[in-house]
Structure 1
């Protein structure tokens, strides 16, 4: 099976050996650490007769997945990479019409949505702002409308359904060539649209990354654990599509997309994917042959309470784990 994207590269489905290798290595390392840490219950609980064989087996056999992981990674990096990396010139597709349609997701964001709409509408390159409320129980929809947004209420619950509705409504406006997807909690700012557009000649999708420290405010819902977890899952996605992108943030909701690329991509997206939808979006875009670039963006404290994967570290771990399962299964569990 193959698909052709706007980037001009014919996409073939490759086995992601580097992805499997990294996960195999991590599994072996976890086995080794578990065997070493069993020293505490072995001596504290005086259970050496029971736990010694388990600890010994974990330490000895941990070398198998570690070695397998190293071999798979080396095979992908040293041999297959030259076949996977697209042999095409660096893309430059000039931006002729810089006006954008902004689409904001919102869920019980009455405290922030008016400020977010006003921020984006005041930007000189923004043609309109769309707000899709995911069946909010507060005054989110009314405040967005009063602030000047075009509003929609997506009654089906789930972050993926809200994003999908945002993109579906945004591409209906053919007077703008770009759609900017964001959210209405004030964690992002309209002035970064200039940066996203600066990368647009080289890509179909410009994904904002929150991993540049000077651009990330100290007190945000992006804890240290979630920050590095995003980088880790981003690198797994990069390993899956080896040679086609540099990815450091799979959880960001701020991105710029070419309208014509979105029209074709929407058919391949599954709105049933919930909080891990951003990883699903990036994975599907790369699989479809679209060109993806990252752009450093600013990240600010949100107004109100988080309802997504950044609620706490345990929630972030659960969402990150589902992202990894989605990458491994090509999101078939949502079919």
Structure 2
């Protein structure tokens, strides 16, 4: 049976995290919530929902994801697949079964859950998010020949492939770093259109002008950085 672990970085997602954990299919062996220096009930609510809870006090999406990976690396039994998922309940965790299907049935290395406009609740993504995704994926197409349409955080990757790409980014560039490195190492990949709804609470990135600018800058810089390596 395929061994699957889910890593959820979470910063002040106390109102949503239990919903996310509870909706993850039972096929998942372990749900790992990384409390990224939250000041609310994220940690206790995640633990009460049955998740393994880790603490990462250095703020940053990548820091939290790396903390989850470190936890997995220290375990004796390694998973076959790692799924990354946000803690804001904007994705539909039950769609994890669809997300991992290309890996299980077609031996695909990485699958991105694409926040397709056709299945996206109105207002679920801000105009700057939509534009940022378009710009980033267009640059990746021009530079790397990529076929991505989204940098969606709901994604699945074979565990050995995740280790092979040696993830480094600590903040906003986590998703694009993974996709670029997968391209450079010629991993097989695909996208699965996913439903997407308005998040619970306010986004820590797209919900602020500073967060939007910083994330956009970091993503574009990473795209060009890896193009010259």
TM-score normalised by L of structure 1: 0.62
SS at match of 1:256: strand
In proportion to residue count, which structure has more helix?
1
Q: Is the 8 A contact 2:169 2:177 kept in 1?
A: no
2:123 pairs with 185, 209, 219, which one? 219
The CA deviation string for residues 286-320 of structure 1, in whole angstroms up to 9 with x for no partner, is: 22332222111111111112112x11566434422
Determine if the alignment matches structure 1 residue 153 to structure 2 residue 55. Answer: yes
Q: What does residue range 70-85 of structure 1 map to in structure 2 within 5 Å? A: none
Which of 100, 110, 125 pairs up with 2:14?
A: 110
Is it true that 1:205 corresponds to 2:110 in the alignment? yes
Distance across 2 between alignment mates of 1:271 and 1:168: 14
2:68 aligns with one of 166, 181, 184: 166
Q: Secondary structure at the match of 1:126?
A: coil
Distance in 2 (alpha carbons) for counterparts of 1:295 and 1:170: 26
2:136 maps to 1:236: no
Deviations 1:19-58 (A, max 9, x none): xxxxxxxxxxxxxxxxxxxxxxxxxxxxxxxxxxxxxxxx
Distance of 2:167 and 2:175 partners within structure 1:
11
* Alignment RMSD (CA, Å): 2.2
Compared with structure 1, are the counterparts of its residues 321 and 271 closer, same or farther at alpha carbon in structure 2 (3 Å cutoff)? closer
List structure 1 segments (4+ residues) > 6 angstroms apart after TM superposition.
Answer: none
- Rg larger for: 1
Matched, 1:247 2:152: no
Query: SS at the partner of 2:70?
Result: helix
Unaligned residue ranges in structure 1 (runs of 5+): 1-96
1:239: how far off? 2.3
Aligned residue for 2:169? Answer: 271
1 CA distance for matches of 2:135 and 2:193?
17
Residue in 2 that maps onto 1:326: 222
Matches within 5 A, 1:54-65: none
CA offset at residue 331 of structure 1?
A: 9.2
CA contact (8 A) 1:130 1:170 kept: no
Aligned residue in 1 for 2:30:
128
Unaligned runs of 5+ in 2: none
- The TM-score normalised by the length of structure 2 is 0.89
Tell me the distance in 1 between the aligned counterparts of 2:118 and 2:81: 27
Highest RCO, 1 vs 2 (Cα 8 Å, sep ≥ 6): 2
